[in-house]
Amino acid sequence: MQNRPSDPRVSILKDISPLLTSVLDTDSVLEMIIESVTRLMEAKASSLLLVDKSRKKLYFQVATGEAKEEVKKFEIELGQGIAGHVALTGKPLLVPDVSKDSRWDSTISEATGFETQSIACVPIKSKQEVIGVIQIIDREDGQPIREADMEILSHFSELSSVAIERARNYKDIVNENIYLKKELESRYEIIGVSKAIEQVIADAVKVANSKTTTLITGESGTGKELVARLIHKIGPRRKKKLMVVNCAAFTDTLLESELFGHEKGSFTGAISRKTGVLEIADGGTLFMDEVAEMSPSMQVKLLRVIQEGTFNRVGSPSPMQVDIRVIAATNKNLFEEVKRGTFREDLYYRLNVVHIYIPPLRERRDDILVLAQHFLDKYRSIRGAANLAFDPNTLEVMQNYHWPGNVRELENAIERAVVMGGGEHVVRPEDLPFSATPSGDTAQELLGCSLKEALDSFKRDFLQRNLDHQGGSVKDTAKILGIQRTYLSRLISKYGLNTRRNR
Q: State the residues that interact with Mg ion by CB under 5 A.
A: 225, 289
Residue 190: Cβ within 10 Å count:
17
Considering the complex, what minimum distance in angstroms separates the CB of residue 69 from ligand ATP? 52
Considering the complex, what minimum distance in angstroms separates the CB of residue 401 from ligand ATP? 16
Among 81, 84, 123, 218, binds ligand ATP (CB under 6 A): 218
CA neighbor of 414 nearest in space, from 198, 191, 181, 188: 191
Residue 187 binding: pick among ligand ATP, Mg ion, none (C-beta 5-8 Å cut-off by kind): ligand ATP
Does position 220 interact with ligand ATP (CB under 6 A)? The reply is yes
Span from 214-222, 419-427, 473-481, 489-497 in contact with ligand ATP (CB under 6 A)? 214-222
CA neighbor of 120 nearest in space, from 91, 141, 142: 91
Three-state secondary structure of 5-28: CCCHHHHHHHHHHHHHHHCCCHHH
Residue 218 binding: pick among ligand ATP, Mg ion, none (C-beta 5-8 Å cut-off by kind): ligand ATP
Spatial distance between the Cα atoms of 15 and 2, rounded to a whole number of angstroms = 19
Residue 222 binding: pick among ligand ATP, Mg ion, none (C-beta 5-8 Å cut-off by kind): ligand ATP
Considering the complex, what minimum distance in angstroms separates the CB of residue 359 from ligand ATP? 11
Q: How many residues does the chain have?
A: 503
For residue 58, CA distances in Å to 74, 97, 235 come to 9, 23, 53
Q: Which is nearer to Mg ion, 216 or 492 (CB)?
A: 216
CA 198 from chain centre, in angstroms, equals 27
Considering the complex, what minimum distance in angstroms separates the CB of residue 330 from Mg ion? 10
242-246, strands of its sheet edge to edge: 242-246, 285-289, 325-330, 214-217, 354-357
Query: Kind of pairing, strands 214-217 and 319-321?
Result: unpaired
Among 223, 276, 360, 421, binds ligand ATP (CB under 6 A): 223
Spatial distance between the Cα atoms of 134 and 38, rounded to a whole number of angstroms = 11
Q: What is the DSSP string of 143-164?
A: PPP-TTHHHHHHHHHHHHHHHH
> Restricting to residues 275-304, which ones interact with ligand ATP according to CB under 6 A?
289
Helix (H) or strand (E) holding 50: strand 43-52
Does position 369 interact with ligand ATP (CB under 6 A)? The reply is no
Closest CB to Mg ion: residue number: 225
Considering the complex, what minimum distance in angstroms separates the CB of residue 462 from ligand ATP? 30
Among 16, 150, 162, 190, binds ligand ATP (CB under 6 A): 190
Does position 192 interact with ligand ATP (CB under 6 A)? The reply is yes
Does position 359 interact with ligand ATP (CB under 6 A)? The reply is no
Q: Using a CB cutoff of 8 Å and minimum separation of 24, what contacts does 3-6 make?
A: 6/148, 6/151
Query: Kind of pairing, strands 325-330 and 285-289?
Result: parallel
Spatial distance between the Cα atoms of 297 and 220, rounded to a whole number of angstroms = 26
Among 123, 221, 261, 421, binds ligand ATP (CB under 6 A): 221
Residue 408 binding: pick among ligand ATP, Mg ion, none (C-beta 5-8 Å cut-off by kind): ligand ATP
Q: Which is nearer to Mg ion, 289 or 411 (CB)?
A: 289
Q: Which is nearer to ligand ATP, 109 or 222 (CB)?
A: 222
Considering the complex, what minimum distance in angstroms separates the CB of residue 16 from ligand ATP? 50
Does position 191 interact with ligand ATP (CB under 6 A)? The reply is yes
Among 331, 342, 466, 498, binds ligand ATP (CB under 6 A): 331
Q: Which is nearer to Mg ion, 93 or 291 (CB)?
A: 291
Spatial distance between the Cα atoms of 229 and 242, rounded to a whole number of angstroms = 8
Query: Kind of pairing, strands 319-321 and 325-330?
Result: unpaired
Q: What angle do CA 224, 280, 186 make, to 5 degrees?
A: 40
Among 37, 137, 226, 230, binds ligand ATP (CB under 6 A): 226
Span from 20-28, 138-146, 171-179, 188-196 in contact with ligand ATP (CB under 6 A)? 188-196
Residue 221: Cβ within 10 Å count:
20
Q: Which is nearer to Mg ion, 149 or 289 (CB)?
A: 289
**In 127-252, beta strands by DSSP E:** 129-139, 214-217, 242-246
Query: Kind of pairing, strands 119-126 and 129-139?
Result: antiparallel
Amino acid at 372: A
3-state SS assignment for residue 384: coil
Among 139, 350, 408, 459, binds ligand ATP (CB under 6 A): 408
Residue 221 binding: pick among ligand ATP, Mg ion, none (C-beta 5-8 Å cut-off by kind): ligand ATP
Considering the complex, what minimum distance in angstroms separates the CB of residue 414 from ligand ATP? 11
Spatial distance between the Cα atoms of 397 and 457, rounded to a whole number of angstroms = 11
Considering the complex, what minimum distance in angstroms separates the CB of residue 343 from ligand ATP? 17
Q: Which is nearer to ligand ATP, 221 or 276 (CB)?
A: 221
> Restricting to residues 370-389, which ones interact with ligand ATP according to CB under 6 A?
371
CA 136 from chain centre, in angstroms, equals 44
Among 26, 116, 222, 285, binds ligand ATP (CB under 6 A): 222
Spatial distance between the Cα atoms of 58 and 75, rounded to a whole number of angstroms = 6
Span from 17-25, 103-111, 224-232, 431-439 in contact with ligand ATP (CB under 6 A)? 224-232
Considering the complex, what minimum distance in angstroms separates the CB of residue 193 from ligand ATP? 10
Could you list the residues that contact ligand ATP (CB under 6 A)? 187, 190-192, 218, 220-226, 289, 331, 371, 407-408, 411
